[in-house]
Amino acid sequence: MKRDKFDILESTCVPLPLENVDTDQIIPARFLSSTSRAGFGENLFRDWRFDKSGNRNNDFVLNNPSFKGEVLVAGKNFGCGSSREHAVWAISDYGFRAVVSSFFADIFRNNALNNGLLPVVVPENYLNYLLDKIGREPETRVKIDLEKQSFSVLPDGEPVRFEINPYKKECLLKGLDDVDYLLNIKEMITAYEFRNTLKR
Amino acid sequence: MTPKTLFDKIWDSHVIRSIEGGPEVLYIDQHYIHEVTSPQAFDGLRARGIPVFRPNKTLATADHNIPTIDQHLPIRDELSRNQVNRLAENCREYNIEYFGLNHPKNGIVHVIGPELGYTLPGMTIVCGDSHTSTHGAFGTIAFGIGTSEVEMVLATQCIIQTRPKTMRIKVNGRRGKGVTAKDMILYIISQISSGGATGYFVEFAGPAVTALSMDERMTVCNMSIEMGARGGLIAPDHTTYEYLNKIPAVESRPDFKSMLLRWRILKSDEGAVFDRELEFDASKIKPMITFGTNPGMGMGIDETIPEGDNTSSFSKSLEYMGIRPGMKLLGHPVDYVFVGSCTNGRIDDLRSFVKMVKGRKKAPGITALIVPGSKRVEQQAINEGIAEALKLAGFELRQPGCSSCLAMNDDKIPAGKYAISTSNRNFEGRQGPGARTILASPLTAAAAAVTGRITDPRELLND
């Protein structure tokens, strides 16, 4: 199935200088009863954005009008905990297209890549610099170039290279998904099953 | 031949193709699904107009979103009811075996898979649930996946994965009195942090690990994800085979004897190289509790809350928990006790809890949720007199499900209340908005349940 392509993104950023942000914070379990992929953005970071009575918590960055954009910049080990893909759906549905951190939890990273949300890994000291800069200058714009695997602060910041495996990069650039790939090699899969039956 | 790790042996034998530039196509032997992370995957199949490729390799159960009392009645919450009904409909339409509510084989997916004999050594196993690592206790490569990957497995019985690095964690020596498998894994996570094994698949080994029962091994592997690991596994041995030999569905298989022979190669070869190796001493482990809002924030039960690393994350965490550095939690009042979950909802766990509360009474002011991991565990608890012993001590055995571990159902801990929980995550709001979770073993939970405070279980053990 065709998905949105990802090539170059230029945007302001939303800073979230917290470490170990788990998927229960991104989307609490009580909002997981839906059977569709849509509408999770409404409850993104629900318990940090709103208090118990449903009032906006003005201290939380998503409620601060100075910060907006399609890039979320967060502390290390982002997306740890539950495997719920709803976390990625919530972040995308809210309007983010990339998340920057110094490392991501494995399952979250896979889920993000499978949904066209780009996880950008930068060195920890660069992340700290970035969080600090955005915090002080909310109008800071950044550029993510997937083809070149480069991240930079506009207009003239030194580009930082980020890693992504070539297969996933290709999928994102062309808007392809893994199911299509696997359906195309079904004969190999059947042959593998046959070989295994013979072995036993 | 080059010596290989157990992980590499299983992984290599399941690779169908290596894709240029990294990831590999991995064949999946056993797929488990539940109501929360599967509906969108089935919708994906419908949108593509394709069937489930191998329906007999997927098993379904309802566990996350179900009540733990009055399970004979329709689920009250409309969204939850709808989600469980959707799973039943999807399984019917695609011909997948389904153990729904009230089915005698229903239960938490990571409890029923092993106890019914679906999980077998040497397999690759996935489920849209991070605690799939539990099945690694049988010498399997088992890990959690997202819903897009659930769709891949339904469509082709394969997923595309990058091979993780390997880590071996050896636990030497012997555990002391009152120290359980839960304490062992909480201790390890506290030593390496909640992200310390990110990118790795962990093999647990050493005398303190091989001494564990299968239920205990599952507790250890279950929480591998809480240190960031892709999964954790333990080489199968006589303990594993004895456990499997008692499962009629396994023991009666005509190929059981030949499987036993095949499983002999399921161990890391002498001289196999791991990307990282760690060693711990079991005799240094005390009963453990967590004090913060991630599972890496744990300490010995009699220890003092550390000063931390001066980050806003650390102070935010302590503020949420209503505690300060320098404090001890020993003696701190507790409001709720939760025993259950895929971490500690098995029969060994209920036995351990009952051993402590027998002859004592539930402390005033304590609300307890004692939830078996499956219908079979529930039945066994009734047969062994555990349910009765609980009743005499003022507790009640509920019906199986994930319950308060993630509080998708009504089993929520109120805001600001302290819960000592045998589950796996102390994240903010995990057990209900504002709930304050302290993770511990069933034994430590029992000590709190009868005293109303965080209590060192070693002080209450007689033998």
* Residue A198 confidence (pLDDT): 63
Whether cis (ω within 30° of 0) applies to the bond prior to B121 is: no
Chain A hits for B57, CB-CB cut-off 8 Å, are none
Chain B: closest CA distance from residue A155 (Å):
30
Mean pLDDT, residues B271-288 taken together: 98
Residue environment code for B442-461, b if the CB has 16+ CB neighbours within 10 A, otherwise e: bbbbbbbbbbbbbbbbbebe
Chain B hits for A33, CB-CB cut-off 8 Å, are 36, 65, 77, 79-80, 82-83, 408
List, in order, residues 6 or more apart from B43 with CB less than 8 Å away: A35, A36, A37
Chain B hits for A149, CB-CB cut-off 8 Å, are none
Mark yes or no for CB contact B406/A29 under 8 Å. yes
| Position A31 in a domain | yes
Chain A: closest CA distance from residue B382 (Å):
31
Q: At what angle do helices A106-113 and B147-156 cross, to 10 degrees?
A: 70
Name the domain count of chain A.
1
CATH number of the B307-455 domain: 3.30.499.10
The pLDDT tens digits for B165-180 are 999 999 999 999 999 9
Q: Choose from B82, B87, B126, B406 for mutation: most chain A CBs within 10 A.
A: B406
Q: At what angle do helices B214-222 and B181-192 cross, to 10 degrees?
A: 20
Chain B hits for A17, CB-CB cut-off 8 Å, are 312
The pLDDT tens digits for A59-81 are 999 999 999 999 999 999 999 99
> Is A2 part of the contact surface with chain B (CB cutoff 8 Å)?
no
Exposed/middle/buried for residue B38 (C-beta within 10 Å: 0-12, 13-18, 19+):
buried
Mark yes or no for CB contact A32/B40 under 8 Å. no
Q: Of the given ranges (A1-10, B38-47, B212-221, B377-386), which has the lowest mean pLDDT?
A: A1-10
- Which of B79, B130, B149 is the closest to A34 by Cβ? B79
Query: B432 to chain A: nearest residue by CA?
Result: A30
Chain B hits for A82, CB-CB cut-off 8 Å, are 129-130, 406, 425
* Residue B311 confidence (pLDDT): 78
> Is A117 part of the contact surface with chain B (CB cutoff 8 Å)?
no
Residues 58 through 97 of chain B touching chain A, CB cutoff 8 Å = 64-65, 77, 79-80, 82-83, 86
How many Cβ pairs within 8 Å bridge chains A and B? Answer: 188
* Residue B1 confidence (pLDDT): 82
Residues 136 through 155 of chain B touching chain A, CB cutoff 8 Å = 143-149, 151-152, 155
Residue B452 and residue B26: Cα distance in Å, rounded?
49
Residues 43 through 62 of chain A touching chain B, CB cutoff 8 Å = 47, 52
Mean pLDDT, residues B318-343 taken together: 97
Kind of pairing between the strands at B436-439 and B298-300:
unpaired
Residue A180: pLDDT band (50, 70, 90) is very high
* Residue B200 confidence (pLDDT): 98
Residue B228: pLDDT band (50, 70, 90) is very high
- Joined tokens for residue B91: 């399984």
Chain A: closest CA distance from residue B414 (Å):
11
Examine the pLDDT at A20 and tell me if it is beyond 80: yes
Residue B463: pLDDT band (50, 70, 90) is low
Domain boundaries, chain B: 6-164+206-268, 307-455
Residue B174 and residue B188: Cα distance in Å, rounded?
15
Chain B hits for A81, CB-CB cut-off 8 Å, are 130, 225, 425, 427
Cross-strand partners of B171: B280
Chain B hits for A28, CB-CB cut-off 8 Å, are 429, 433
* Residue B97 confidence (pLDDT): 98
The pLDDT tens digits for B264-274 are 999 999 999 99
Chain A hits for B152, CB-CB cut-off 8 Å, are 178-179, 182
Taking a C-beta distance cutoff of 8 angstroms, is the pair A102, A160 a contact? no
Chain A hits for B130, CB-CB cut-off 8 Å, are 81-83, 107
Give one DSSP letter per residue of B274-311, joined into a string. PSEEEEEEGGG---EEE-SSSTT-EEETTSB-----S-
Q: Work out the number of other CB atoms within 10 angstroms of the CB of residue B253.
A: 15
Chain B hits for A34, CB-CB cut-off 8 Å, are 79, 83
Residues making up chain B, counted from first to last: 463
Q: Choose from B130, B131, B290, B431 for mutation: most chain A CBs within 10 A.
A: B130
Chain A hits for B319, CB-CB cut-off 8 Å, are none
Mark yes or no for CB contact A82/B406 under 8 Å. yes
Q: pLDDT: is B312 or B362 the higher one?
A: B362
Mark yes or no for CB contact A105/B258 under 8 Å. no
Taking a C-beta distance cutoff of 8 angstroms, is the pair B445, B423 a contact? no
Examine the pLDDT at A1 and tell me if it is beyond 90: no
Taking a C-beta distance cutoff of 8 angstroms, is the pair B290, B186 a contact? yes
* Residue B402 confidence (pLDDT): 98
Chain A: closest CA distance from residue B35 (Å):
9
> Is A34 part of the contact surface with chain B (CB cutoff 8 Å)?
yes
Phi and psi for B144 in degrees, rounded to 5?
-80, 150
Q: How far is CA B349 from CA B236, B245, B339, B394, B425, in A?
A: 21, 21, 8, 18, 17
The predicted complex's ipTM stands at 0.96
The pLDDT tens digits for A132-176 are 999 999 999 999 999 999 999 999 999 999 999 999 999 999 999
The pLDDT tens digits for A84-95 are 999 999 999 999
* Residue A81, domain extent: 8-199
Q: Work out the number of other CB atoms within 10 angstroms of the CB of residue B70.
A: 10
Mean pLDDT, residues B89-116 taken together: 98
| Position A105 in a domain | yes
CATH topology (fold) of B6-164+206-268: Aconitase; domain 3 (3.30.499)
> Is B416 part of the contact surface with chain A (CB cutoff 8 Å)?
no
Mean pLDDT, residues B9-29 taken together: 94
> Is B316 part of the contact surface with chain A (CB cutoff 8 Å)?
yes
List, in order, residues 6 or more apart from B376 with CB less than 8 Å away: B104, B105, B107, B112, B115, B116
> Is A107 part of the contact surface with chain B (CB cutoff 8 Å)?
yes
| Position A2 in a domain | no
**What CATH number should be reported for the domain holding residue A180?**
3.20.19.10
- Joined tokens for residue A143: 């550029």
Examine the pLDDT at B61 and tell me if it is beyond 80: yes
* Residue A200 confidence (pLDDT): 54
| Position A17 in a domain | yes
Q: Which ranges constitute the DSSP H helices of B288-369?
A: 312-321, 341-344, 347-357
Q: Which ranges constitute the DSSP H helices of B161-311?
A: 181-192, 207-210, 214-222, 238-245, 248-251, 256-263
